[in-house]
Amino acid sequence: MQGNGFKIGSIVAFLALTIFYLYPSIQWGLEQNYIDSLSPSEAAQYQEENREKLESLRENTLSLGLDLQGGMHVTLEVGVPQLMRELAGDNADELLHDVIDVAAQRSLENDTDFIDEMVAEFESRDAN
């Protein structure tokens, strides 16, 4: 255990520094939870009465980067009609191309799912 004083002191100093910088963020979170538990009128009154304290806490909180906020929310949309054509490849006939065109047009007009429109179009063209 000899010679561990510096290590232990460094760890304690690091923990103290961490708590010092995280304290406003923790307090801000607790205040937000408390405000959320109040009725809207009580919350507005509480925020008005404690405006300076809340602003000070908000200014001193650690700002989270995109990685800590859950990253960027990116939605990629697949061009399903084009994908269907590519998957069919050389096996695609004129009927398939017509059905894809009609289904794509209907899905845009009606704001519906392309696959549902494609199935409906195939069923309407099938005599069975």
10-residue averages of pLDDT along the chain (128 residues):
84 94 89 90 90 88 67 69 88 88 91 90 81
- From residue 2, give the alpha-carbon distance in Å to each of 9, 10, 15, 54: 13, 15, 22, 47
pLDDT given for residue 45 in this prediction? 92
pLDDT given for residue 66 in this prediction? 60
pLDDT given for residue 126 in this prediction? 78
